[in-house]
Structure 1
Amino acid sequence: MKTDAQLQQDVTAELKYEPSIHAAQIGVEVKNGIVTLAGQVGSYVEKWNAERAAQRVNGVKALTIELKVKLPNDGKRTDADIAESATHILAWTSSLPEKAVKVMVEGGWLTLSGDVEWQFQRQDAADSVRHLAGVVGVSNQIGIKPSVSATVVKSDIEGALKRRATADAKTISVEVKGHDVTLSGTVHSWAERDLATRSAWGSAGVRNVVDNMNLVY
């Protein structure tokens, strides 16, 4: 198991390795395996990439974000401009049904709402607007319409886990209530944890995934 000092070094190195991040502006603190990122970044995308970079480091138990987005003067836009751009780009996103996603912008913070049928559509919507100039944050409140029975959802998830992570499928328990899925058991890395949750979201009709899995190195 890594010490806090080793984790700090590894997270710092991963931030420096990511070309989209100005690592010198981000401070890294670690206590009992919990990593805190603090400082100032020039865009929401940079903040998002910093979070993902830290999560890639083996040994990180949890992540606390204290990063502030400070846009350069030439990067600031009105909320109306951002909303118009977001509406257009969502309309051009081929995976999304027409007019399925609604947009609200306040102080540069963009909120997505509406309903889609699949988690990948929900994710595509957020991915398509994350890089827009002037955005300081994105809240994805898009819901997922129910389309299959709980029995089918449970079968789909368990089948996906067995196909993609045979060794770990036996240690992960799947519970379905309505269209809410709870995953419990143990995984051995962030990658395995992400695989399990993505497998759960990959089943049609899933509206919520609760991650109760334990990360054991």
Structure 2
Amino acid sequence: MNAGNDIQLALLIRNSLMKDERLSAHSIEVAVVNGAATLTGSVPSYRRKLAAIHIAESIRGCLDVVDKIIVEPPGGVSDEEIAENTRSALETSADITKEAITVLVKDGVVTLQGTVSSQWESVLAEDITLNSRGVRKVRNLLLVEPACKAEDVELTRSIMDTLSHTANLENQEVRVAVTGNKAVLSGRVSELWQKKRADEVTKRFPVVLLRNEIAVGQDGKQ
């Protein structure tokens, strides 16, 4: 990708960030080198930080996103309040094994520890935590211990079938290999957001470890 394309991509990303009502009031700088976008600046919540990353990833031609955005929550929320709010939110979710999750907070950084029965449950617990006011970052250390292990061949077939019927992935070259509840994604997709989408879909299944080796673009750049 030449310098002109990098400048155009940076402009597209910057304009998309400014049009988003969650981010329009915040100054986020964008620099692009060889298709890789670096985001800098500050936002008041981790959720908005993720929104900025996802928007950049969704722009056609973006091959990678380097996140240097700082989360600066509004004052007045103590670590104790964040921990209490997070535990309460997890408690209200019928899909979370809340008794097996420990919530620790230091300087606005929330650490989740314990065990869950699926990768999807781990992602859900993290997502719920992100909604707690004052959270700067989430460290998800939850261990996945499936209640029942699916056979590798059956699990591979199920994941492949779901990916092949997922919008905007059906015509992409995505492969899955599962061994002992560990999944590896490979192949090639056109855009970075499609790689992320394949990752999200696979995490719905009872896999303990997911490694995403899907290449992005026509020239093998990741």
Q: Confirm or deny a common fold (TM above 0.5).
A: yes
For 1:182, the equivalent position in structure 2 comes to 184
Secondary structure of 1:71 counterpart = coil
For 2:66, the equivalent position in structure 1 comes to 64
Is 1:137 aligned to 2:137, yes or no? yes
Offset, 1:36: 0.5
For 1:216, the equivalent position in structure 2 comes to 217
Offset, 1:23: 5.5
CA distance in 2, matches of 1:55, 1:66: 14
* Mapped contact 1:15–1:23 kept (Cα < 8 A): no
**Residues 1:51 and 1:191: Cα distance change in structure 2 (over 3 Å):** closer
CA distance in 1, matches of 2:69, 2:200: 26
Secondary structure of 2:171 counterpart = helix
For 1:58-96, what per-residue CA distance to the aligned partner results, in whole angstroms no more than 9, with x for missing partners?
1111111111122333xx322122111111110011211
Question: After the TM superposition, which parts of structure 1 deviate over 4 Å for at least 4 consecutive aligned residues?
Answer: none
Secondary structure of 1:48 counterpart = helix
Alignment counterpart, residue 194 of structure 2, candidates 192, 195, 203: 192
* Mapped contact 2:83–2:105 kept (Cα < 8 A): yes
Is 1:111 aligned to 2:111, yes or no? yes
Which consecutive unaligned segments of at least 5 residues does structure 1 have?
none
CA distance in 1, matches of 2:171, 2:44: 42
For 1:53, the equivalent position in structure 2 comes to 55
* Mapped contact 1:150–1:178 kept (Cα < 8 A): yes
Which consecutive unaligned segments of at least 5 residues does structure 2 have?
none
CA distance in 1, matches of 2:134, 2:202: 33
Offset, 1:115: 2.1
Offset, 1:43: 2.1
Instruction: Identify, as 1 or 2, the structure richer in helix.
Output: 1
Measured on the aligned residues, the alpha-carbon RMSD in Å equals: 1.9
**Residues 1:199 and 1:39: Cα distance change in structure 2 (over 3 Å):** closer
For 1:96, the equivalent position in structure 2 comes to 96
Offset, 1:24: 4.7
For 1:110-149, what per-residue CA distance to the aligned partner results, in whole angstroms no more than 9, with x for missing partners?
0112222233322221121212122111122222223222
CA distance in 2, matches of 1:124, 1:7: 32
Offset, 1:22: 3.7
For 1:165-195, what per-residue CA distance to the aligned partner results, in whole angstroms no more than 9, with x for missing partners?
4422xx2222222221111111112343233
Alignment counterpart, residue 33 of structure 1, candidates 24, 28, 35: 35
Amino acid in the other structure paired with 2:155: V
Secondary structure of 1:103 counterpart = strand
For 1:16, the equivalent position in structure 2 comes to 18
Amino acid in the other structure paired with 2:123: Q
Secondary structure of 1:30 counterpart = strand
For 1:87, the equivalent position in structure 2 comes to 87
TM normalised by structure 1 equals 0.89
**Residues 1:131 and 1:198: Cα distance change in structure 2 (over 3 Å):** closer
Secondary structure of 1:27 counterpart = strand
Aligned length: 212
TM normalised by structure 2 equals 0.87
